Structure 1
Amino acid sequence: MNSPPAQEPTRFRYVILALLCLLAMITYMDRAANGSAKAAIMKDLNDQGSSYTEDDFFWVLMAFQFAYAIFEIPSGWLGDTRGPRSTLLRVVLWWTVFVALTGFTGMTLPVVGFVGFTALIVIQFLFGVGEAGAFPNISKSLYNWFPASDRGFAKSAIWMSARFMGGMTPLVWVLITDPEVAGLGWRQAMWLFASAAAVWCVAFFLLFTNKPNDHAQVNEAERAIIDAGRSPPAAHAGVPFAKLFASRNLLALCGMYVVTNFCWYFLMYFLPGELKSQFPEASKTLGGRIFVALLSGAPLLVGMGGCYLGGVMSDRYIRRTGDRKWGRRLIGMIGYGGAGLCYFLAAGVKLTDPNNLLLFAGLVILMGFMNDLMMAPSWAVCQDIGQKYAATVAGTMNMVGNLGGAFTGIFVTGWIRKHYPGTDGILILFTIYGVVYFIGVGLWMFIDASKPIVPDEPQADTAAS
């Protein structure tokens, strides 16, 4: 008698991945909108009698950054103990409210009164509280929905999406607010961005479950693919914080992520202004200003390729060799080494050929690509060593990394830019960034993705084969 044909596996996990990629895009879109709106926001405040400059907006960004950092672990804990579905719905709805409230800055409201600069800082702090829950719970969701062999690929898709939207948001903002295109005001643009997040929540509520076993659209064949190599789920006894925080593996991971945020924040917060001030001739015409703006966003756009390639290379190395430790570590070391070298070379160009915009910007753009080679492997390590506590581990890494980035942004990058304006500041900063990246290469040597902190599933190096 002929045996029945094998069941064709469904592929619903890719629908889940698409949902999470959209969330990553919305996260970066809402965050990057502040940089695009800051001139208009400060103008509206000053029209009401204030006397702020665009440089003062730095404190608004830092309020967001500190909140984003310190609420990573609580958000990760919620995802690990209550599931990513309810946690993501809460945090996205939370930050949607505060993105919308940002649009009221500079207005006088009934009962509330004038929404001024101090209120804007508070609003952005609370916005950061919400966004802190996004990536740890995305990481937890991918751990639940993807097999170990595809985690690097899945994380690369997430970070490609985030970098794409971060790089495109300035252009999207222009298309929405330019009088010759859509012609909306900055407030309406903020409310439109908030609406996009609210629509995402509806789709997520309808399509997402915490685990594949809970979803009617996932058949047994796909569940078998996702669960390959996992142990049967054990009862959840709470997050073992003492073991997590005592792990040298996690400490090295956190130190490594400080390196990324210290050196990468320059691209997010300072590069557009520095290109304008360092190369003033290029910004004298409309075409030149558009070109400089494109160069400013290019490191994030090119970083998409780094995110994708880093995840694919990491997973492929593990499948071919069975060596998870070096499959994650090697890609991170290559990325950091290349990024550090790019900063050194860009400093050299500024010293020897100070007016060469294309070569200078090209090296900075290449630095963005090299940095992002390590994004997917580093977040995949959170899943590898965190396992059922992946959200807490990812939240810890992101918290420490962003706190480090915020402090160094104020006390190193900000201080140097203030006291050493012009070329001298660029030379000092880029030399420091290059050295720090090579310290990061050393930190990767202490990260071992094959050693889970609290073993849950079999972690033999062949698990990814």
Structure 2
Amino acid sequence: MGKRTGKRTRVRWNIAILMWAAIAINYLDRTVLSATTPALMEEFGLDAAQMGIIMSAFFWSYALFQIPAGWLADKVGQRFSLAFCVAWWSIATALTALSQGLKSLLIFRVLLGIGEAGAYPSNAGVTAKWFPDKERTRVSAIFDSGSKVGTALAMPLVVWLMTMFGWKVPFIVSGLLGLIWVVIWWAYYRDPEKHMYVNQDELTYIRDGQVKKEGLNQTKSMKWYELLKYRNIQAMCVGFFMLNYAIYFFITWFPAYLVQERGFELMKMGWVSMIPPLVGLVAELIAGWFSDHLYSKGYSLTFVRKLSLVGGMLLATMIAFPDWLIPQCFPLLYCLFLMPV
């Protein structure tokens, strides 16, 4: 492979777009069930408790298989692991159209969780290989913003497809989108040293910007369970447990809540359900840029990450406040986010 010289290429950002698309499809596929929940409950005679079991089935298999999925990505490489996982969950999504009731919905949701468990571990490995340290927060925000786009897109798109063609068609369409992505990823992705479109200038820029040269050091690996003894890992586990508990209300029960408790029509529910993920998309991109900006100015990674995570979660708590109290929070928000650091 000949490495072209001259102006530095920017292939890494094409890789970032593909990672973004994978996460967008990931969340589109997991959100289809939420948008179709009113129709499924009516057709199969499911009550709220049974629907809750179906929704939680995804998360049990998703959580259980994340560590094995990370091991697989490190073992066989992210090109194969991400393609395999997206193909798996896309097929599981499409097959959900064959559901006949509670048991079959449970099976397909478990299969979906197994496949989707590999998305973030694989993307983390790709980011470590393709991006210098100073760009990692930004690219992580970019590809994770796909979760908001996928969720936002799912609501009106799925409701429209369901209204026009029935609840089965959204599952089939979502599954096909994932399989198309797999073909594109397999054809385009290679590690930086092997990619035909990366010139030496970009490769040097990536490697010189990494404190630890990913893919170049042959150090002894650590057992995954040994990570649990570190305080930072423990704090991350607790923090993401709390964060995801709030996030997944909007991904699971929010559409049904709007229809059943607020009396929204289906299409109106689809549009209103877009609001939380779209606001999250804008905020995440700004936070990613702002974090990299602070890091480039000399602030420690610990401070930068705590500012974004803790500040964002404090903002999210306002959902539980009564309406009259929210304006009283503005002075606190000003102190947290707008005053010079």
Structure-1-length-normalised TM-score = 0.65
Flag the 1:129–1:175 CA change in 2: closer, same or farther, 3 A: same
Flag the 1:328–1:259 CA change in 2: closer, same or farther, 3 A: same
Decide which of 218, 236, 251 is 1:253's aligned counterpart. Answer: 236
Does residue 104 of structure 2 align to residue 89 of structure 1?
A: no
Provide Cα deviations, 1:410-437, integer angstroms capped at 9, x if missing partner: xxxxxxxxxxxxxxxxxxxxxxxxxxxx
Task: Show the 5 A alignment for 1:47-446.
Answer: 51-53=45-47, 55-106=49-100, 116-178=101-163, 183-209=164-190, 211-230=191-210, 231-232=212-213, 233-235=216-218, 237-276=220-259, 279-280=262-263, 283=264, 290-340=267-317, 342-345=318-321, 348-349=322-323
Query: Displacement, 1:84?
Result: 1.1
Provide Cα deviations, 1:94-151, integer angstroms capped at 9, x if missing partner: 1122112111112xxxxxxxxx421220121111000011111111111111111111
Provide Cα deviations, 1:331-366, integer angstroms capped at 9, x if missing partner: 2222122222x1343xx22xx79xxxxx99xx9xx9
Please say if residues 80 and 239 of structure 1, whose CA atoms lie closer than 8 Å, have aligned partners that are also in contact.
Answer: no
The separation in 1 between residues aligned to 2:48 and 2:267, in whole angstroms, is 20
Please say if residues 36 and 162 of structure 2, whose CA atoms lie closer than 8 Å, have aligned partners that are also in contact.
Answer: no
Please say if residues 167 and 297 of structure 1, whose CA atoms lie closer than 8 Å, have aligned partners that are also in contact.
Answer: yes
Flag the 1:71–1:199 CA change in 2: closer, same or farther, 3 A: same
Which SS does the other structure have where 2:6 is aligned?
coil
Q: What CA RMSD, in Å, does the superposition of the two structures yield over aligned residues? A: 2.5
Query: Displacement, 1:175?
Result: 2.8
Q: Letter of the aligned partner of 2:33 in structure 1?
A: N
Q: Letter of the aligned partner of 2:11 in structure 1?
A: F
The structure whose Rg is larger is 1
Q: Letter of the aligned partner of 1:223 in structure 2?
A: L
The separation in 1 between residues aligned to 2:96 and 2:258, in whole angstroms, is 28
The separation in 1 between residues aligned to 2:116 and 2:156, in whole angstroms, is 22
Q: Percent identical across equivalent pairs? A: 24
Flag the 1:234–1:262 CA change in 2: closer, same or farther, 3 A: same
Please say if residues 81 and 238 of structure 1, whose CA atoms lie closer than 8 Å, have aligned partners that are also in contact.
Answer: no
Flag the 1:176–1:259 CA change in 2: closer, same or farther, 3 A: same
Please say if residues 97 and 172 of structure 2, whose CA atoms lie closer than 8 Å, have aligned partners that are also in contact.
Answer: yes
The separation in 2 between residues aligned to 1:61 and 1:278, in whole angstroms, is 19
5+ long unaligned stretches in structure 2 = 334-341
Flag the 1:32–1:226 CA change in 2: closer, same or farther, 3 A: same
Query: Displacement, 1:278?
Result: 5.5
Which SS does the other structure have where 2:196 is aligned?
coil
Does residue 19 of structure 2 align to residue 24 of structure 1?
A: no
Give the corresponding residue for 2:10: 11
Q: Letter of the aligned partner of 2:136 in structure 1?
A: R
The separation in 2 between residues aligned to 1:166 and 1:186, in whole angstroms, is 17
Provide Cα deviations, 1:213-247, integer angstroms capped at 9, x if missing partner: 11111000000111124345122644432531211
Provide Cα deviations, 1:279-320, integer angstroms capped at 9, x if missing partner: 45xx4xx5xx65454333311111001110111111100001
Q: Letter of the aligned partner of 1:331 in structure 2?
A: S
Structure-2-length-normalised TM-score = 0.87
Please say if residues 96 and 171 of structure 2, whose CA atoms lie closer than 8 Å, have aligned partners that are also in contact.
Answer: yes
Please say if residues 81 and 236 of structure 1, whose CA atoms lie closer than 8 Å, have aligned partners that are also in contact.
Answer: no
Flag the 1:120–1:273 CA change in 2: closer, same or farther, 3 A: closer
